[in-house]
Amino acid sequence: MSIDVKVPVLPESVTDATVATWYKKPGDFVKRDENLVDLETDKVVLEVPAPVDGILESIAVESGEVVEANQVLGVVKEGEIPAEKAEASVAPKASTAPAKEATAPAANNQHNTDTGSAGPAARKMMQESNIDASQVTGTGRGGRITKPDVQSVANTPMEERVPMSRLRQKIADRMVEAQSTAAMLTSFNEVDLKAVMDIRKKYKDEFINKHGIKLGLMSFFVKAATEALKQFPVINASVEGTDVVYHKQQNIGIAVATERGLVVPVLKNTNAMGLADIDAGIRDFAVAGNAGKLTMDDLTGGTFTITNGGSFGSLMSTPILNMPQSAILGMHTIKDRPVVVNGDIVVRPMMYLALTYDHRIIDGKDAVLFLVAIKEMLEDPARMLLNL
C-alpha cells in the first residue's frame, strides 16, 4: 500500500514553506516517525516524518521548491523492513539536493611549488596574474603546470551568489519595516554591575546545586526589565493602526544567534518567573535554536525584547525594534573602567545600555526613566529581588 507524505498543517500566519533537505532518496528503506525531509518557514524548520515503515517510493518536490499545507511531498510504500536494513535505515543520509559546482579546482595532495616545472607560457601567466605555483595543480606530464592549468585558477570566480534563506528574508523584511514604520530613537546609560557580579560569585555553587543551572547575567536583566515594564506600561505597549495596545503581561523576547540567523524566542509571563526559571528557559531556547527545534509558540507573543551584543564584544550599538513591539533593550560588553563612587575613583565592571523606542507613543521622559529604573535595580539588586 502506497501512502502520501504531505506537508503538515502550517503554523498560524505561515502560508507556505520551502523544501530544505531530503534525508532519504527513492528506494531507501524508512522507519515510521523517522525524519524524511526538513521544511523551512519564515521562522522555524519543520520536520516531516515517515508515516509508516517501508520504502520511499518517490519524491514529488525537490529541495528549494515552495510548498503549501497538505501538498504531497513524496510517496512511501508500506512494508516490513528487512532486519539487515533496519539499523542502516536510521543512519543519516546525504541530502538529495544537487551539489553546488565547485568554484575552484580541487586541491592536490602534492602541490607543485617548483616554478621550474611550469612551461614558459604558464610561468609568464602566473607572473602577470600574481599566482603562486603552489595554487596550481599541474595536469601536464609528470605534474608539469600548463597554461590551461593557470587559466583555470586565474578565471576562478571571486564571488559566490547564494539565495537568502527564508529566515534571512524575514529578518530583512522586519528590519526594513521597523526603519520605515516606527519613529525610532535611542537613549543610552551605563550600569555598574559590581553588585550583580558579587551575588553571582557568592551564590554560584549553591545555585547550581539547588537548581541544576548556572546563575546567569541575563536573568538579572530580565527581572529588572520586568519590574521596569510594570512601572512604565507604555514601554510594554504596541501600536495597531491608531490604537495603543497595552499588554498586561510581560513577555520578554531574548535575541539568540543561531546558525540559521537571529531568532527571538519569548519568555512568557516573566513576572511569575524566578532567576532559575529564566536561566533554564534561556538555556533551553539556545539549545533548541541551534538544533532548529524552536516552535512558532516559542517565537510569538513577545511584548519587549533584550539583545546582548556584548556577548560578541560590542561596546555600544543602537538596536532596531522588533516590530510590532515599541522598545528593545541593548546590552553590551562589560569593561572594567574607573568611576567615581562616594568621591573616590574606583575600578568597576561597567556596561553601556541602549534603549531604542518608538517615539510615536513613548515620550523621551518615560524612555529615560525606564532605563534609569533598570540601572538602579541592577546596581542594587537586593531591592529588586525583595520587591522593594
d(Cα 292, Cα 288) in Å, to the nearest integer? 6
Give the CATH fold of the 2-89 domain.
OB fold (Dihydrolipoamide Acetyltransferase, E2P) (2.40.50)
CA angle 222, 228, 232 (to 5 degrees): 140
Q: What whole-number distance in Å separates Cα of residue 115 and Cα of residue 132? A: 8
User: Is 275's pLDDT higher than 90?
Assistant: yes
Buried b (16+ CB within 10 A) or exposed e, 88-114: ebeeebebbeeeeeeeeeeeeeeebee
211 is catalytic: no
pLDDT at 240: 92
- Report the mean per-residue pLDDT for the chain: 86
**How many angstroms separate the CA atoms of 184 and 46, rounded?**
34
* Topology at the third CATH level for domain 166-385: Chloramphenicol Acetyltransferase (3.30.559)
Residues of the chain with CATH 2.40.50.100: 2-89
Q: How far is CA 148 from CA 75, 140, 368, 380, in A?
A: 47, 10, 66, 71
Confidence of residue 112 (pLDDT cuts 50, 70, 90): very low
Q: Which of 33, 132, 205, 363 is catalytic?
A: 363
Instruction: Tell me where in the chain the CATH 3.30.559.10 domain(s) lie.
Output: 166-385
| φ, ψ of residue 90 in degrees (nearest 5) | -95, -5
CB-based burial of residue 130 (10 Å sphere; 0-12 exposed, 13-18 middle, 19+ buried)? Answer: exposed
- The answer to which of 5-14, 52-61, 367-376 has the lowest mean pLDDT is 5-14
Q: Catalytic one among 16, 359, 366, 380?
A: 359
pLDDT of residue 87: 54
User: Does residue 94 have a pLDDT over 60?
Assistant: no
Which pLDDT value is given to residue 205? 94
pLDDT at 118: 77
CA–CA–CA angle 317, 320, 325 (5° rounding)? 135
The contacts of residue 380 (CB under 8 Å, 6+ apart) are 195
| Predicted local distance difference test score (pLDDT) of residue 134 | 85
Query: pLDDT tens for residues 287-343?
Result: 998 888 888 899 999 999 999 998 899 999 999 999 999 999 999 999 999 999 999
Contact 89, 29 (CB under 8 A): yes
pLDDT greater at residue 89 or residue 96: 89
Q: Return the number of other C-beta atoms located less than 10 Å from residue 202's C-beta.
A: 11
Supply the pLDDT for residue 139: 84
Tell me the three cell numbers of residue 124: 609568464
Which comes out higher in pLDDT, residue 360 or 91?
A: 360
Is-catalytic flag, 359? yes
Please say whether the beta carbons of 38 and 20 come within 8 A.
yes
**Dist. CA 213–CA 15, nearest whole Å:** 38
Cα angle 152-153-159, degrees, rounded to a multiple of 5: 110
Which residue type is seen at 16? Answer: D
